[in-house]
Structure 1
Amino acid sequence: MPSLKRIVCLANSWKLEERCIAGIDLDTGKWIRPVCDRLYPEDGRVPISVRIVEGQEPKLLDILQVPLAETGNDFGFECENRSILDGQWQYLGQAQPTDLLRYCSSSKHILHNSSKYVYPSYLKKLPFPQRRTLQLVEVVNFSVEKRTSSKGNIEWRGTIEASNGRCLAGAKITDPVFVEKLKTGYQPKDICFVTVSLGMPWGPPDWDGEYPCWKLIAGVIEISSKDV
């Protein structure tokens, strides 16, 4: 029998034309990243045939029941991964934004340091449970910028300031729903919850040395005045 995990979805972000799904296990309060490592042993991205729930993409704050193994391919540096097992994903309900405060990190940095990236070699030196590649941040200041990538593609970058003063500048936004809103001229609210994730190691052609894992804005949950 597969182990059925109840998770609140806090990220459904782009990953090489598929998606990366992640959320909090409601029974343990810990992060879980379901990975389809049977179909994609190189990075675990989740295809549409696996992740669709009742005909729809998982939305942020959805509470999902997902058949998962107790372990998964960590790709050498991730501690949150659990292999996706056979079985349908089920929708159980929806969390409220205020439910997320308990899961916000109070650590000194947004994912290990004050830089825009973390080297895999650094993560590998940490005890396995400390190799965090996902973090929920309570944001009090949020600005966005539209850029053109080296390949000529339009991308959106975000700069966030956390409630304890921590900052992350110019991180790529990979939340598809939020990006579609930005394309219409939408300006984000300052107060929100942001899921920051580490991507797989990558570097531009002129990068010298080890490829780093870049910090990504993988999920944006805005808070309305009635939620405050």
Structure 2
Amino acid sequence: MLYKNLFPNVLIQGATPSLLKGIRSRVMTVLWLENAPWDAHLDLILVSSQKMQSINHLTRGLCKPTDALTFSEVNETNQTINEILFSSTKRACTGNDDAQAPSPALLYTHAMKPDPLQARRAIRDELVDLGTIYFCVEYIWHRTMRRPQKNLPLELYLEAALVHALLHVLGYTHETDEALWRMIRREKCLGYHLRSLQRKYPLDMPRFDAIEYMKAISHG
């Protein structure tokens, strides 16, 4: 598959072999579609519900687990610059607001103009460190099993939570209504694209094997 090993500095920890394949293929695809630099650094760490609760309490003051937490310095400005600096072709998804991106000239201050190469390198150094995602398959599993009528099916929930977390480290937010709807549109677009690829290339983008993972952690 085209996007299979494009990002060598993406590290996924804690997944069982089968689940790792499903997660990695989707992470690579989303990063490629979002024009992430090839040398982007990202840690995606699968944690138990107990550890997720500890992280959530420490960082947000909420004493309960959640599906995903992201920690990154990337913001919306960086995400716009990322689109300009690293986009080489029009991606398959529509509705990515490319037409609204400002001119590259507007993103450089007068102080940067004497040495645009140095400014470009400084921006790249900031962009390549996407940060860390903590992802809790156990929480998603129990939530879908206990209240199936109020949640997405397991596989769709796993994919939606993963895409949502990836968009956060890439600079998307939902702090305003406009930003929220922009993020929702992008999530829908990426979800559609991922499911299309999964049907077309089931060996390259396998289904999430959460059962193997849950068995492994229960015996661990």
TM-score by length of 2: 0.28
More strand by share: 1
More helix by share: 2
Relative contact order, CA 8 A, sep 6+: which one is greater? 2
Larger radius of gyration: 2
